[in-house]
Chain A
Amino acid sequence: MSKKIGVFVCHCGTNISATVDVEKVAEEAKKNNPGVSYTTTYKYMCSDPGQKLLRDKIKEEGLDGVVVAACSPKMHEHTFRNAAKKAGMNPYHVEISNLREQCSWVHPDKPTGTEKSIDLVRMMTEKTRKDKSLNPIKVPVTKRALVIGGGIAGIQAALDIADAGHEVIMVEREASIGGHMAQLSETFPTLDCSQCIMTPKMVELAQNENIKLYTWSEIESVDGYLGNFDVKIRKKARSVDLDLCTGCSSCWQVCPSKKIKSEFDMKLGNRTAIYIPFPQAIPSKPVIDREHCLLFKDARKKNIPPNDSKVCRKCLDVCPIAPVKAIDYSQEDEFITEKIGAIIVATGFKELDDTSMYGEYGGGKYQDVITGLQFERLASASGPTEGEIQRPSDGKLPEIIVFIQCVGSRDPAKGCSYCSKTCCMYTAKHTMLYKHKVHDGHAYVFYIDIRCAGKDYEEFWLRAVEEEGATYLRGRVSRIYKKGDKLVVLGADTLTGSVVEIEADMVVLASAMKAQDDAEKFAQKLSIQYNKDKFFSEIHPKLKPVESSSAGIFLAGTCQGPKDIPETVAQAGAAASKVLALLSADELEREPVVAKVDRLPAPIFSTCIGCFYCKRVCPYGAIAEEDIKARDGSVIKTVARVNEGLCQGCGLCAATCRSKSVELAGFNDEQVYAEINSVEFN
């Protein structure tokens, strides 16, 4: 049965009609084309009357295919398909001929433009003839969100979703939530104490009934698709029963291993083997560091179960919980699978803390050359020095301190070509914190540029210069060397063209924000894209800033790129609102442009030969192997099947298929060949 196709040629004011003879195009569309039963031209097809014309003619003429020859399909394909739908037609029988962007605007000669337009309309007419009815794919939604990472981004996103009434699962790999923000002393540009604004949020999260928190846990695998993810979580053995433990602190007070470098204090302070990372930790319950714990060391050495070791059981002995103690040396990793509708990735960043590649700054061998986060811990009231700025080597108050900006950032030779964005501001903050604590001290800052573009940011760093008297020198430091107990900093002041030599007591490197060490592996686990620096990629840098390349997975915070706290919180809120939009529907509708492997009656069942090349090329893992079984349950053949929920419609499988068993809806072989065949060649 041949389709009755209507062709509607738009003048677009004069945008098209000035260089294309639209009447002739309409006329030619009908000529030699028995399928085309109606043609017309109209001044503005996208206008209300234009759309009405389309609707009316579909009904009056009984059209079952429409070609609108107008602007780019990117502009109004949706508009015209909707109009057709309103007239009772399946919208996927509407095709657009791009007469404006790809013809009238680029070819000023009218006969040429008209000739090309005729071709373009014929191509789409032929494609339309092969169009099939397609229906949006409906996917049910599990109304539960997963937030990966318990820093400020994850906390904000989780709270926003939970407050809207949806369940949230939060997975944090450390023993406590809080992330990097909990480590900071004060925050710019207001100098309010980080803990003071962070801790209430952490408590709020812990107390929120909609949020289930897994700390000391990691994502093992993510399967499924938008609305229907299956997430496997590894609860690492904590050696402490969270339900029984009251966080009374007896155990970590008696632990004899007291000289373990604290990760939270950036190795400037010590912790015990059974520990909570910091006093305000949530949950405020300890974990046993099995690598350093004497009992576990002994058990490993003797190759016996930890419970059989008698080396040290002080924490167990002292635990006041009865009859069953809260400490359990025999605990093992536990796996939990959760059903999830949408995911927010908020895995954060890692500070460039290994400065060994900076041989010119001592390559990590000078104790008094520290990183930005280490300075935060020194300045923090809960830090190893209780907020006193002391040199790590001898505890002396540094009278002259040098800050070096852009260490690792904007330095393609050493790895990161990007700007870490926060360092200008936090260095200015550091100089202030330093001056507030060491009144007679002097701070020097070496910088390349000052990038303080944010609300009240410019004023903030100027305060560091004008009120706190920090000396800013525009130039790089070529070398730091030790002379007695001083560090000699050799640098250039490029504004005066002179060499600068400063005998400093301490040097702070504003080191770069980098992607987490395992970011690449993690991205592959989730099938999301990442850039060359291993930061996760948003799908569109301007218009889709929180969407990852996988449907239903969103990005928040510094895992997507360096950003400061206000920006992180804003992005987390945006990601949460995207998740809420998804979770607000019972079913999701998706464009039906997906691939399909054919199914035929017995005895063929499918032309698929089961080579699964399609499975190998599919970027989304959307191809599954399906057994076609006889009544007795025996497998007749194994063929490919496309999971519509996962398929994004790229067509890789269709092009790869050797037996032509896969077809991409909307772009199937018939349609493409119809287009090729319809071009008029010389």
Chain B
Amino acid sequence: MSETKFEPKIIAFLCNWCTYAGADLAGTGRKQYQANVRIIKLPCTGGIDPLFLIKAFERGADGILVSGCHPGDCHYNSGNYHARRRWNVFRPLLEFCGINPNRIQFSWISAAEGGKWVETINSIVDTVRALGPFEGYHKLNTIGPETSGEVAAAPSETG
């Protein structure tokens, strides 16, 4: 596959109440967007274990979106705040692991924001397309975290 033809795969972890419904609304409004996203629905962003995201990268996802209700709108009162706190801690960890944090986006999209869903998806797909395929996962499996960039050559690659 030549580089210009690279199509990233994005895994989106969405809360059931806001963003999943927002994505539905984009469909009801027949708003087109890029087909690179695969949605995993959970009740609340607060219930997303960071290991889910690591697993997605490990399997070869090129980018990840986590999206839930706006602050104050959480169906479960405070789940999205927990998600936000977790994200603040998780982001530096990703960087430490050598994964470019631009591969993960965190957003609030309400059930009424079909348009925002489309913009968000198009933006993350474009961003990740520009970053190129995430190949770090080959090493995530074998040698653990890298220290010099996400796809830097590691000694074990040849071995």
If A669-B49, A682-B9 touch, does A74 touch B21 (CB 8 Å cutoff)?
yes
Q: How many A-B residue pairs have CB under 8 A?
A: 128
Q: How far is the CA of A103 from the CA of B59 in the complex (A)?
A: 23
CB of B98 closer than 8 Å to a CB of A: no
CB of B92 closer than 8 Å to a CB of A: no
Please state if A672 and B52 are interface contacts (CB–CB under 8 Å): yes
Please state if A676 and B56 are interface contacts (CB–CB under 8 Å): yes
Please state if B30 and A675 are interface contacts (CB–CB under 8 Å): no
Please state if A664 and B43 are interface contacts (CB–CB under 8 Å): yes
Please state if B31 and A593 are interface contacts (CB–CB under 8 Å): no
Question: Residue among B6, B28, B62 with the most chain A CB within 10 A?
Answer: B28
Query: A676: shortest Cβ distance to chain B, in Å?
Result: 5
Please state if A98 and B39 are interface contacts (CB–CB under 8 Å): yes
Q: How far is the CA of A74 from the CA of B111 in the complex (A)?
A: 12
Stretch with Cβ within 8 A of B (4 or more), from A284-292, A448-456, A500-508, A648-656: A648-656
Query: B93: shortest Cβ distance to chain A, in Å?
Result: 15
Q: Which of B41-55 contact A (CB under 8 A)?
A: 41-44, 46-49, 52, 55
Please state if B23 and A677 are interface contacts (CB–CB under 8 Å): no
Q: How far is the CA of A419 from the CA of B140 in the complex (A)?
A: 56
Q: How far is the CA of A187 from the CA of B9 in the complex (A)?
A: 63
Please state if A682 and B60 are interface contacts (CB–CB under 8 Å): yes
Please state if A105 and B30 are interface contacts (CB–CB under 8 Å): yes
Query: A46: shortest Cβ distance to chain B, in Å?
Result: 16
Q: Which B residues are in CB contact (< 8 Å) with A672?
A: 40, 42, 49, 52
Q: How far is the CA of A336 from the CA of B95 in the complex (A)?
A: 57
If A101-B24, A105-B28, A651-B43 touch, does A112 touch B35 (CB 8 Å cutoff)?
yes
Stretch with Cβ within 8 A of A (4 or more), from B73-81, B102-110, B151-159: B73-81
Q: Which A residues are in CB contact (< 8 Å) with B118?
A: 106
Interface string of B14-37 (1 = CB under 8 A from A): 000000110111111011110100
- Total interface residues on B, using CB and 8 Å? 46
If A529-B77, A682-B60 touch, does A654 touch B32 (CB 8 Å cutoff)?
no
- Of the residues A72, A113, A527, A654, contact of B35 by C-beta under 8 Å: A113
CB of B65 closer than 8 Å to a CB of A: no
Q: How far is the CA of A681 from the CA of B63 in the complex (A)?
A: 11
CB of A283 closer than 8 Å to a CB of B: no
Q: How far is the CA of A219 from the CA of B86 in the complex (A)?
A: 36
CB of A441 closer than 8 Å to a CB of B: no
Q: How far is the CA of A112 from the CA of B75 in the complex (A)?
A: 34
Please state if B82 and A652 are interface contacts (CB–CB under 8 Å): yes
If A101-B23, A106-B33, A112-B35 touch, does A650 touch B76 (CB 8 Å cutoff)?
yes
Interface size for chain A: under 10, 10 to 19, 20 to 34, or 35 or more residues?
35 or more
Q: How far is the CA of A549 from the CA of B118 in the complex (A)?
A: 29
CB of B128 closer than 8 Å to a CB of A: no
Please state if B11 and A676 are interface contacts (CB–CB under 8 Å): yes
CB of B61 closer than 8 Å to a CB of A: yes
- Of the residues A73, A664, A681, contact of B59 by C-beta under 8 Å: A681
Q: How far is the CA of A109 from the CA of B35 in the complex (A)?
A: 9
Q: Which B residues are in CB contact (< 8 Å) with A654?
A: 47, 49
Interface string of A100-118 (1 = CB under 8 A from B): 1111011111001101100
Please state if B47 and A667 are interface contacts (CB–CB under 8 Å): yes
Please state if B47 and A652 are interface contacts (CB–CB under 8 Å): yes
Query: A122: shortest Cβ distance to chain B, in Å?
Result: 10
Please state if B52 and A651 are interface contacts (CB–CB under 8 Å): no
Please state if A123 and B78 are interface contacts (CB–CB under 8 Å): no
Question: Residue among A100, A654, A682 with the most chain B CB within 10 A?
Answer: A682
Q: How far is the CA of A398 from the CA of B97 in the complex (A)?
A: 77
Q: Which B residues are in CB contact (< 8 Å) with A679?
A: 9, 11, 38, 56, 59, 61
Please state if B42 and A107 are interface contacts (CB–CB under 8 Å): no
The 6 closest A-B pairs by CB, nearest first: A651-B47, A101-B27, A681-B60, A650-B76, A619-B77, A105-B27
Selected A-B contacts with CB under 8 Å, 11 pairs: A74-B20, A103-B35, A107-B32, A617-B78, A620-B76, A651-B44, A667-B43, A676-B52, A681-B61, A682-B6, A682-B60
Given contacts A673-B52, A673-B55, 18 further A-B contacts (CB under 8 A): A74-B24, A100-B27, A101-B26, A106-B31, A106-B33, A106-B35, A107-B32, A108-B32, A116-B38, A619-B77, A651-B46, A651-B47, A652-B44, A655-B46, A667-B47, A672-B40, A679-B11, A679-B59
Residues of B within 8 A of A (CB): 1, 6-7, 9, 11, 20-21, 23-28, 30-33, 35, 38-44, 46-49, 52, 55-56, 59-62, 72, 75-79, 82, 86, 118, 133
